[in-house]
Amino acid sequence: MAVRGLKEKQATKDKRLWRSSSERGDISRNMLLSFLALCCGGAAVLYGLYSWLIPAAVQYNAWWALLWHDAIVERALNTLTRSTRPQRLLRAVQKKAIKGDPQSVISTIDYFCRHSEWAMNVGDEKGVILDSVVCEVSPSTALELGTYCGYSTVRIARLLPPGTKLITLEFNPDYAAVARQIIEYSGLQDKICLVEGASGDLIPKMQELFGIKTFDFVFLDHWKDRYLPDIKLLEECQLLRKGSILLADNVICPGTPDYLEYVRNSPRYESKYFKSHLEYTKVEDGLEKSVFLG
C-alpha cells in the first residue's frame, strides 16, 4: 500500500510538472505569436509610412519633398542596395525600355520616378514645356548645362532637326557614366556630345572644341548657383546671338532668385515664366524662357 501511495503521489507530481511545463510552453508560444504579430504590424505601419503616407504628405512641401527623397530615401536605398540612384535608374531602363526607342526610355524613367524612386530629372510635366520650346526654336546648335542621367538630354535630342548635335556638360563623372549608357540605349549617341567638366571651364572653349560660334538654344539644369555666372559667361564669350533662347529649370524649387532677377530686369532679355510643378510632385516649380535681345 505504501509503495502504491508513493507511486500515486509521484504520478500526481509528474502531472503537475507536465501541466506547469505545458502552461509555460503555451505562454511562450503566445508571447512569440504576440511578438510576431507586433513585428508584422510594425512592419506594415512602416511600409505604409514609407510607400504611401510620407510620400503623399511631402508632395506639397518643397523642403520636405527634397529632404525626404534626396536625403533620406536615397541614402537608405544606397546603403541597402549598395548602388546609387543613377545606377538603379539605369537598370530600370535596361530592363524595361525598348532599346533604340527614345520615347520608351523617357517613359520608363518617368514611370520609375513616379512609382519606384524619385529623381531630379526635368520630369514628364515640365518635359512637355521643354518639348514645345525645342520644337518652337528648332535649333541648329544646342547646349545643355547639367546632364545628370541623360533624361532631358534624350528628351531634347529626339526633337532636334537632322544634322543638329546637342552638346551637354556634366561635372559629376559618375552621372556622366550612367548618362552615356542611357543615351546609347536610346540610340541617340550620334546626336549628342557629352563632355565631362565644370561649365565655367568648358563654356569658354566651345568655339575651340566644337567650332560653335553661337547657340540657338541653351537648357540650364545644373547647379542653381551657376545659372547666372554661366549665362554671363555665355554673353562674354559671345556665344549668344540675337534671338537665342535660354530655358532654365527649377527656377522656383530649389530656386534661382538671382538668375530670375537678372533675366527679368535686364534690357538684354525678354522673359516668360511657365508655371508647373517640381518633377513628380505637387510642389510649385517652373521653367523660365528668356530670349536674348542682343
The CATH number of the domain holding residue 134 is 3.40.50.150
Task: With respect to residue 75, please indicate whether it lies within any of the assigned structural domains.
Answer: no
* Segments forming the whole domain that contains residue 199: 90-292
Q: Which of these is catalytic: 279, 285, 288, 289?
A: 279
Active-site annotation holds for 224? yes
Q: State the pLDDT at residue 280.
A: 93
Q: Which of these is catalytic: 250, 285, 288, 289?
A: 250
Q: Are residues 99 and 30 in the same domain?
A: no
Q: State the pLDDT at residue 63.
A: 72
Q: Which of these is catalytic: 124, 230, 249, 288?
A: 249
Q: What is the 3-state secondary structure (H, E, C) of the chain?
A: CHHHHHHHHHHHHHHHHHHHHHHHHHHHHHHHHHHHHHHHHHHHHHHHHHHHHHHHHHHHCHHHHHHHHHHHHHHHHHHHHCCCHHHHHHHHHHHHCCCCCHHHHHHHHHHHHHHCCCCCCCHHHHHHHHHHHHHHHCCCCEEEECCCCCHHHHHHHCCCCCCCCEEEEECCHHHHHHHHHHHHHHCCHHHEEEEECCHHHHHHHHHHHHCCCCEEEEEECCCHHHHHHHHHHHHHCCCEEEEEEEEECCHHHHHCHHHHHHHHHCCCEEEEEEEEECCCCCCEEEEEEEEECC
Q: State the pLDDT at residue 46.
A: 39
Q: Are residues 121 and 4 in the same domain?
A: no
Q: Are residues 14 and 120 in the same domain?
A: no
The count of domains in the chain is: 2
Q: Are residues 44 and 126 in the same domain?
A: no
Task: With respect to residue 134, please indicate whether it lies within any of the assigned structural domains.
Answer: yes
Q: Are residues 45 and 173 in the same domain?
A: no
Q: Are residues 114 and 49 in the same domain?
A: no
Task: With respect to residue 84, please indicate whether it lies within any of the assigned structural domains.
Answer: no
Active-site annotation holds for 279? yes
pLDDT in tens, the chain (294 residues): 555 555 555 556 555 655 555 555 555 566 555 555 555 554 443 334 344 445 556 667 777 878 887 889 889 999 999 999 999 999 999 999 999 999 999 999 999 999 999 999 999 999 999 999 999 999 999 999 999 999 999 999 999 999 999 999 999 999 999 999 999 999 999 999 999 999 999 999 999 999 999 999 999 999 999 999 999 999 999 999 999 999 999 999 999 999 999 999 999 999 999 999 999 999 999 999 999 999
Q: Which of these is catalytic: 110, 224, 230, 289?
A: 224
